[in-house]
Amino acid sequence: MSKTRRITSIITAAVLVSISVLLCSCSKGGKVSVTIGDWPADTDTMSSVYEEYLKQMNEKYPDIEIIPDTSSGTATSYLTRAISGQLPNLYVVSYTEAANIIKSGFCADITDACKEYNYAQSLNPLVLDKVKDGDKIYGIPQTAYALGLICNKELFEQAGLVNADGTLQYPQTYDELAKTAKTIKEKTNQAGVVFPTMNNQGGWIFTNVAWSYGVDFMEQDTDGKWKATFDTPECVAALQYIKDLKWVHNVLPDNAFVDIEEERKLFASNQAAMYIIHPTERMLVKNYSMNKDNICFARVPEGPAGRYTLMGGNYYAVSPQSTPEQIDALFKFLEIKGHSPNVTEKTEESLSMSMKKDNDENVPVMRKAAFPLWINNERTALDTKLREMYANVPDENFADYSSFIDVMVHEEEPQCAQELYSILDSGIQKVLTEKDADCASIVKEMANDFQKNHLDKLD
């Protein structure tokens, strides 16, 4: 059953509990009570920062009660919580969930509040459009990124892949990526590149590669039906490229079952030199104690059809049971948190506190944002000012990525993206575990699976 069907099938049950949710969360002792999901746990280093947000809320808005909720999850898991009356008023999900969440009635229309608090006018339209349906706004973009190529400076140096000015010799095409990875493997005996294969992450990255080979994964007919369109020579060539990394170039890790945490572990411990990811890999430092100055970022390589990068990220959604008073309280919380287009003393204080925390913990802080979330001059000026204060990595380590030369931004696939990623995962696993696997047959099977089990079941 597709995610769309799963969400639709339980939305009725979620609505049935909405009255009880309202009764238990709207007010308590005359206060407006709101539950904030994705609150950091006590063991998280950001916990102290959020405690300061809570303190500031209590001081400025004593009539608002903030109830921290440390859980996080997907749209489906949140819907399950809705059935038991435990849905947070504010929660965080990825942009790929937006269409399903809006269609299922699982989020509130917050258009009026976005206009009142200046979000509608100040957010980058590229990300704001991801949480809109027509003229209505159903979410607040939290993060945005464009994928790049992360490179381990120490392994590049050991392999002699450094220019005279000290910058790395980044591969500019996918063919060069394979050659660079092979040089690193020969000179250091470590994996030249890592490609994920599990938990939808392989499919997620593969779409980025496939677009650069000229692949279109789906299109909509004139009658509104969606059709899988990736059973093509271009997609076969892209999958063959991944297969060749293993069986021709021998530059991948021995383990064919890799998720993002395994990628990070290999990279941070100098057992792998490159992988495709967004440039906010704070976990390399926080979880694996990697030296931040050993992290470099470049643009994604160019393929036969161009240099494409995937744009994605997360956004805040508001539960549909939230009252106007609760929605207003949530926007007040976001302003205290500094996630607001409106620049005040508190905004600067909160943003500075968060950025300083990263700086103090040696988490990379770039002088230039990975992807601009805001477009209003006052807010972008504040971001620039604070980044100048707290930037802690050499500019040259991120200069190639930040140049964005010849890079075309591509949005995630419009329908059933997570299901597509899962199907692509299985194909990637197959070509990396079976030397004689036929890429054309696998692509045909994947396209048929996606059409029959997901696109054909869209309402």
Say what the pLDDT of residue 40 is.
92
- Select from 25, 136, 145 the least CA-distant residue to 90: 25
Q: What is the 8-class DSSP label of residue 40?
A: P
Q: What pLDDT digit, counting tens, does each position of 243-275 carry?
A: 999 999 999 999 999 999 999 999 999 999 999
pLDDT at 339 exceeding the cut of 60? yes
Q: What are phi and psi of 212, to 5 degrees?
A: -70, -15
Give pLDDT tens digits for 295-334: 999 999 999 999 999 988 899 999 998 999 999 999 999 9
Place of tokens 């690193």: 184
The DSSP symbol for 123 reads B
* pTM as predicted: 0.84
- Length of the chain equals 459
pLDDT for 371: 80
Give the residue carrying structure tokens 């949480």: 131
Rounded CA-CA distance 69/330 in Å is 14
The domains of the chain, with CATH numbers, are 3-141+314-337 (3.40.190.10), 146-306+406-457 (3.40.190.10)
Residue type, 163: N
* pLDDT tens-place string over residues 130-179: 999 999 999 999 998 899 999 999 999 999 999 999 999 999 999 999 99
How far apart CA 359 and CA 361 sit, in angstroms, is 5
* CB distance 146 to 311 below 8 Å: yes
> How far is it between the farthest Cα atoms of the chain?
69
Instruction: State the pLDDT at residue 81.
Output: 66
Closest CA to 275 of 116, 148, 365: 148
CB atoms within 10 A of CB 342: 14
Say what the pLDDT of residue 106 is.
85
219: CB partners within 8 A, 6+ apart: 226, 227, 229
Average predicted confidence (pLDDT) for the chain: 89
Residue 2 neighbours by CB under 8 Å, 6+ apart: 416, 419, 453, 454, 457, 458
